[in-house]
Structure 1
Amino acid sequence: MNFVEKAWDIFNQSIKDYHQLDHVDTLENNPFQTSSLEHFLYTKNWIDTVQWHLEDIIRDENINPVDALQLKRRIDSSNQKRTDLVENIDDWFLEKFKNITPKNDAKINSETLAWAIDRLSILALKIYHMNQEVIREDASAEHVAKCSAKLNVLLEQKKDLMTAIDQLLIDIENGDVKMKTYKQMKMYNDESLNPILYQKAQKK
């Protein structure tokens, strides 16, 4: 089993584990060794899975505004954790490939390995939930047909994305692509960079 197949299995293990209770307050029980790549991948998808359901909840038109604000804060926090974890995965690969010297004509990819893996994690969730719509017993035949067509597109996307990640790994290992990362430097969560937050602090 190559890396991308292993990552896919870990993502789906996380999704399956979450849906045992199917509740956003379920505690993560990561089965992998702390600081291992597998541990990072499982936690990455767990965050994505919980956030998927938080996004569902907040779209309830009848939600209490106070509850909605609390959920928005929770989603913001989740997004920051997700970003931090993606950067941890990139750091893991930077360490793995630190002794590889890129060729003089090595290219730079438009996204890092970890951000491509992030897309794969989200795709695993899309496939899981689209399949749930396909097998819904109370759904109309038209709904099932539409969701089946969408599921087929997602499965094709999965195949293409897994191939692309495989190829990127090979290119980095061969020195054909230079692995270079940039921190996301999100400003809205930083009290020193978000003017709404730092202006409020200055008034105190």
Structure 2
Amino acid sequence: MNFSEIANQIFIEVIVKYHHINTVDQPFENPYDKKENLLQHLLYRKCWIDTVQWHYEDIIRDPNIDPISALALKRQIDASNQDRTDMVEYIDSYFLEQYSDVTPNEDATINTESPAWGVDRLSILALKVYHMNEEATRTDATPKHRAACQTKLDILLEQRVDLSTAIDQLLADIKEGTKYMKVYKQMKMYNDDELNPVLRGTK
């Protein structure tokens, strides 16, 4: 089983698990042991964060949401975004360790994004597929709505195949030395007390 197959399988597992209870405040439990199955552990955690945040974004768009609740939820979304970024960096660290013994070819090139940022897109795509499928099969929707959503779903499924192939190819290229990884730590400024002028002004 190649990497994308493992990732997509875990992402489906996460999304289905979440929707058994289908609340953003449900307890999280990672079924993959960090020591024995580190990659699966990271992928499961990554998609769980994305899944909860997906539903945060639904809730905050409620036009009747209480402003105080909306502000509290915005803080949760900010924290979730930071967790999401941290998980991307953890996954990239895993790949850096996996290929640490590879010496890139002299003519090796860099990719536009690291493997883990491709994984980030793949996780979000799994959520899009799941929810678009819900809309395409919703019995209380009009035939026109279902048909339109099925068309979108077909495109999303094709996109998942293409993205999965591209990620697997990138990892193969890194392993063969024709591509090399160069990971930049995220330098988000708006959460930093010293870099955000609003936060700096509260000291």
| Matching residue of 2:173 | 171
How far, CA to CA, are the matches of 1:15 and 1:158 in structure 2?
16
- 3-state SS, counterpart of residue 202 of structure 2: helix
How far, CA to CA, are the matches of 2:19 and 2:191 in structure 1?
30
After superposition, what is the alpha-carbon deviation per residue over 1:173-202, rounded to whole angstroms, capped at 9, x for unaligned?
A: 00000111001111111112111001111x
What is the 5 A alignment of 1:6-85? 6-34=6-34, 36-85=38-87
How far, CA to CA, are the matches of 2:182 and 2:111 in structure 1?
8
What is the 5 A alignment of 1:29-178? 29-34=29-34, 36-178=38-180
Q: State TM-score, norm by structure 2.
A: 0.98
Q: State TM-score, norm by structure 1.
A: 0.97
How far, CA to CA, are the matches of 2:24 and 2:31 in structure 1?
19
How far, CA to CA, are the matches of 2:5 and 2:201 in structure 1?
48
What is the CA-CA distance between 1:37 and the residue it aligns to? 1.0
CA RMSD of aligned residues (A): 0.7
Unaligned runs of 5+ in 1: none
How far, CA to CA, are the matches of 2:137 and 2:87 in structure 1?
33
What is the CA-CA distance between 1:12 and the residue it aligns to? 0.7
Q: What is the number of residues matched between the two proteins?
A: 201
Structure 1 residue runs of 4 or more that deviate by more than 2 Å after TM superposition? none
**Aligned-pair identity (%):** 59
After superposition, what is the alpha-carbon deviation per residue over 1:15-50, rounded to whole angstroms, capped at 9, x for unaligned?
A: 011001000001111100125111110000000000
How far, CA to CA, are the matches of 2:60 and 2:2 in structure 1?
38
